[in-house]
Amino acid sequence: MGKIKDAINKTSVPAGLLSPEISAGDDNRDTALRPHSMDEFIGQKAMIENLQVFIEAAKARKESLDHLFLTGPPGLGKTTLAQIVAHELGADFKVTSAPALDKPKDLAGILTTITANAVFFIDEIHRLKPAMEEMLYIAMEDYELDWIIGQGPSARTIRIPIQPFTLVGATTKAGNVSSPLISRFGITCRFSFYDAKDMEAIVRRSAGILKIPVEDKAASLLARSARGTPRVVNRLLRRVRDFAQIKGGQVIDLKTVEQALNKLEVDSLGLERHDREILKIIITRYAGGPVGAETLAISIGESVDTLEDYYEPYLIQAGLLQRTPRGRMVTALAYEHLGLESAGSAGGLLFNS
């Protein structure tokens, strides 16, 4: 058991390999693989079909599209969809993130120069400061800005008209967005993890753009190993292409994918080494759980925030881990995936099957 902890403490998570977050340099590489129209967008079928109706109706009326709220885990296409909406509307696209908006004048500078019916995208909108939210309320509803001129007794408020626009707010933490702000969005789109069929389609499309053929079985394995996240599968595809290129392969076949994933320590469920060690620690040290988050975080040498925000979401989504009122517990599927049997008929002992 001591070896498990030592391995965890000495082994760092691969540099964003399976992380849905954007790592340094990823944004530019992902741009070439991003779809540029609704027809190219794979997955989220019902949401896309509804959006197409709303966009066509807004274009027919020659009005700005209603404000759009995008929520869901990172790496599923929120920024891409915002760009596609602007493209489909034939409108200008302005982009920023909430942390970059430090003072009201920053937001006012963008809104007063925006063109008619433009799409204004704010990423991480849950991190907007209260002063910025209050300014947005009037801008979203009345297409005006409240601005204070002067100081003290001579101060007065004037309203500055701005062009009609579509605000697209994206967040991975919808629960942290204030209710008054959410209520001002007319359209809400909730992204979910992609199923295997859509992930395979993304692999084939990206492989075509990268100009390297991929066999069906290889595409299927890559799709299953990418956590249902397009950004992750594109990142894995680029790494597998590297292995295929060095070995002189002109096509990505099943053997190449298996060898690459083995070298990258990624298994068929998309678990990294750290993920598997977390499950093993719960099983070997805490009899499968329950174990508290703080205790588990200390055991793996990570902070509670890292455990809850990075490791646990996919383990729970994959059905390998449960959060209960008493703590974290592994599931029967985790024992099966790791090749372990739970204590029971074995007299309280754990052993490899």
Task: List active site positions.
Answer: 78-79, 123, 172, 231
Phi/psi at 165 (5° precision): -150, 170
111 neighbors 145 (Cβ within 8 angstroms): yes
Collect all residues with Cβ–Cβ distance below 8 Å to 143 and sequence separation of at least 6.
161, 162, 163, 164, 165
Identify the bridge partners of residue 162 per DSSP, sorted by sequence position.
none
C-alpha to C-alpha distance for 114 and 316, rounded to whole angstroms = 42
Core vs surface per residue 48-64: b (16+ CB within 10 A) or e: beebeeebeebeeeeeb
Longest dimension (CA), the chain: 82
Give the residue ranges of DSSP H helices in the chain.
2-10, 26-31, 45-61, 78-89, 104-111, 130-142, 179-182, 196-209, 216-224, 230-246, 254-263, 273-286, 293-300, 304-306, 312-317, 332-338
- CB-CB contact of 80 with 127 (8 Å): no
Cβ(237)–Cβ(222) under 8 Å? Answer: yes
